């Protein structure tokens, strides 16, 4: 018995030593590894990434516009410059005290981690939206898209736009955006959901959305169907739920039915950066929706745009799309 125990102890010690050596090796690599920093700009309001993707697919300058909050600093100026270069009309609320929001993106093996410093992105005020020159953009728009992140910033702005869309027979679209939005901002989310003609999300967000409502299912098709059948505001006819699942098929629920659409499969060695893939999907989807195309074409365009994005560093696009 002693001999057996001694052998086991020796094996455990050897395993511990091997683990320590591996950890030291990893720490050494991390300590001396080179970290490349490539700044990218974004705000959390009316997500410009979706708007850029939409404009890129349409190739029509001025076809999209957005509002958000920036600081009066170099990053804010960069935001203005990039929006103009992309052909997107941007009406910013410029906060006097907070710096422009920034986000550090760490990409390892094509997968991303985000560290956000929202700053001015948290400071948007509905007073800016109500200004005549800004509300004119809302009046002019036929399709209005808002990211769920904005629920943490200015829910009253969302309500104003949502009610306007319902009263004027406009299409109002919204994204679940993140699991924590579904979990911790449910009340604000519940208030605006009845106005949404389209709800976008990924499988993780959809599962949390279902969990907090006690639906007791993790089946994405069932969840999408339930989302599409949630109560509608007066004047709204129906809702379409669109749930992406990474490399798995896109799930679309409409009129009590569920359809799935395959994505464009990509060899792992071609995967560069997943950052912005979901935003690109929505941008591509919207580019065909505003042209009056059917759901199948909208999903196909979304999958194409997402496929392009994940093969490039950051949320960047080539000069022109190759989509038919």
CB 176 within 8 A of CB 187: no
Query: Encoding tokens for residue 214?
Result: 């006690």
- Is 279 assigned a catalytic role? yes
Distances (CA, A) of 45 to 69, 148, 197, 256, 300: 7, 9, 19, 32, 26
Phi, psi of 272 (to 5 degrees): -105, -50
Residue in 48, 37, 107 with CA at minimum distance from that of residue 82: 48
State the catalytic residue, choosing from 248, 273, 279, 297. 279
Phi, psi of 205 (to 5 degrees): -65, -40
Give strand pairing partners of 144.
172
CB 254 within 8 A of CB 228: yes
Quote the CA–CA distance of 312 and 155 in Å, as a whole number: 34
- The residues that are catalytic are 279
């Amino acid at each position: 018995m002693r001999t057996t125990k001694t052998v086991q102890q020796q094996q455990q010690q050897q395993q511990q030593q091997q683990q320590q050596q591996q950890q030291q090796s990893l720490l050494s690599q991390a300590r001396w590894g080179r970290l490349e920093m490539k700044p990218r700009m974004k705000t959390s309001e009316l997500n410009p990434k979706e708007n850029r993707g939409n404009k890129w697919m349409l190739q029509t300058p001025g076809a999209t516009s957005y509002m958000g909050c920036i600081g009066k600093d170099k990053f804010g100026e960069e935001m203005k410059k990039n929006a103009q270069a992309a052909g997107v009309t941007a009406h910013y609320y410029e906060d006097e005290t907070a710096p422009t929001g920034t986000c550090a993106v760490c990409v390892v093996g094509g997968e991303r981690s985000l560290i956000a410093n929202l700053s001015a992105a948290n400071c948007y005020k509905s007073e800016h939206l109500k200004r005549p020159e800004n509300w004119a953009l809302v009046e002019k728009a036929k399709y209005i898209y808002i990211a769920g992140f904005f629920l943490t910033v200015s829910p009253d702005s969302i309500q104003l736009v949502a009610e306007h869309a319902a009263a004027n027979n406009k299409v109002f679209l919204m994204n679940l955006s993140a699991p924590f939005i579904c979990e911790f901002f449910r009340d604000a989310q519940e208030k605006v959901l009845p106005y949404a003609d389209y709800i976008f999300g990924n499988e993780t967000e959809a599962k949390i959305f279902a969990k907090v409502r006690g639906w007791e299912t993790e089946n994405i098709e069932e969840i999408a169907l339930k989302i599409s059948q949630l109560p509608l505001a007066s004047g709204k006819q129906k809702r379409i739920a669109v749930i992406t699942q990474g490399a798995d098929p896109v799930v679309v629920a409409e009129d009590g039915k569920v359809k799935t659409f395959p994505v464009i499969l990509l060899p792992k060695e071609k995967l560069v950066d997943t950052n912005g893939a979901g935003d690109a999907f929505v941008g591509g989807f919207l580019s065909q929706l505003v042209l009056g195309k059917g759901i199948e074409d909208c999903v196909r365009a979304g999958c194409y745009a997402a496929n392009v994005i994940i093969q490039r560093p950051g949320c960047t696009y080539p000069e022109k799309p190759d989509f038919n």
